[in-house]
Amino acid sequence: MKTLKIAIQKSGRLNEKSVELLKNCGLNFENYKSSLISPVSNFPLEILFLRDDDIPEYVQDGIADLGIVGENVIEETEVEVSYLQRLGFGKCSLKIAVPNNNNIATLADLNGKAIATTYPVILGKFLKAQGIESDIRTISGSVEISPGLGLSDAICDLVSTGGTLKSNGLKAFADVMSSEAILISSKATESNDLVQELIQRIQSVLRAKE
């Protein structure tokens, strides 16, 4: 049978938990050092270590058969993939936040306001569904400093503890989506026997944790 490929984040918030989950499934491999691909010695699988932003497209296009990535990244890239299993880690929420001292009291007050985010697709859909027209400013990072710099009236960013908001004089204002790490596959490989075997192992690791 053909060797499968699974894409996981090479470094960052999801890397350690992704590696731990696969190791707990009994898979033997070297963690990311400098090579992008690590073969699994006891299962026909290779681990691809990538930036999380690239994972949904790699999976959609079949370059990787499986991937572990945050739901927020999947939704933002608007790919066609199968959601196989929620993994219970990497939990966070995408929230709109506003400066502590401001005159934004309701969602409607965001009309005509500038909102900085790295998630323009998800935010755009959310605002559209609410009938709100804001000026979405897409930036690539450090979103939380943009109101202080006068670049935006509000932000839309990922929050887990809220500490970053607080230290930048911001407060959460509206929930846009909640997210966690998800196991995805391409539509074509979902029914593959090896994929099914791997899902079984992952599910039993998750059950043992409950």
**Between 43 and 94, whose beta carbon lies closer to ligand ATP?**
94
**Does residue 52 bind Zn ion (CB under 5 A)?**
yes
**Does residue 30 bind Zn ion (CB under 5 A)?**
no
DSSP output for the chain: -PPEEEEEESSSTTHHHHHHHHHHTT---PPPSS-SEEE-TTSSEEEEEE-GGGHHHHHHTTSSSEEEEEHHHHHHHT---EEEEE-S-S-EEEEEEEESS-S--SGGGGTT-EEEES-HHHHHHHHHHHT---EEEE-SS-GGGTTTTTS-SEEEEEESSSHHHHHTTEEEEEEEEEE-EEEEE-TTTTT-HHHHHHHHHHHHHHHHH-
- Which residue ranges make up the site for ligand ATP (CB under 6 A)? 9, 12-14, 51-53, 70, 72-73, 90, 92, 158, 160, 179
**Does residue 54 bind Zn ion (CB under 5 A)?**
no
14 binds, among ligand ATP, Zn ion, none (CB under 5 to 8 A by kind): ligand ATP
CB of 92 to Zn ion, least distance (A): 13
**Between 65 and 71, whose beta carbon lies closer to ligand ATP?**
71
- The site for Zn ion (CB under 5 A) is made up of 52-53
